[in-house]
């Protein structure tokens, strides 16, 4: 996905991606404002070892 404000490249491994997105569905409500959802998405990403544009894992970004 590319827009004027966001660029996203997603590469998945099948079963791992399924667990990741299932966790998002369980933990992140879609009727909440982005500022409420962002910390929840970060928690899910952290649990699954997601990597971000900086090349650091979500665990590295906490420190």
**Which residues lie below 8 Å from residue 8, measured CB to CB, with a gap of 6+?**
1, 2
* 9-61 pLDDT, tens digit each: 666 778 888 898 899 999 988 898 989 998 999 899 999 988 766 545 556 55
Q: Is the pTM of the predicted complex or chain greater than 0.85?
A: no
Give the per-residue pLDDT at 58. Answer: 56
CB atoms within 10 A of CB 20: 17
Q: Which residues of 31-52 are buried (b: 16+ CB within 10 A; e: fewer)?
A: eeeeeebeeeeeebbeebeeee
- Residue 3 DSSP class: -
């Amino acid at each position: 996905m590319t827009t004027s404000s966001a660029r996203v490249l997603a590469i998945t491994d099948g079963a791992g991606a399924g667990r990741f997105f299932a966790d998002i569905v369980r933990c992140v409500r879609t009727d909440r404002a982005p500022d409420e959802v962002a910390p929840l998405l970060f928690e899910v990403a952290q649990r699954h070892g997601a990597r971000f544009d900086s090349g650091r894992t979500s665990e590295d970004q906490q420190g």
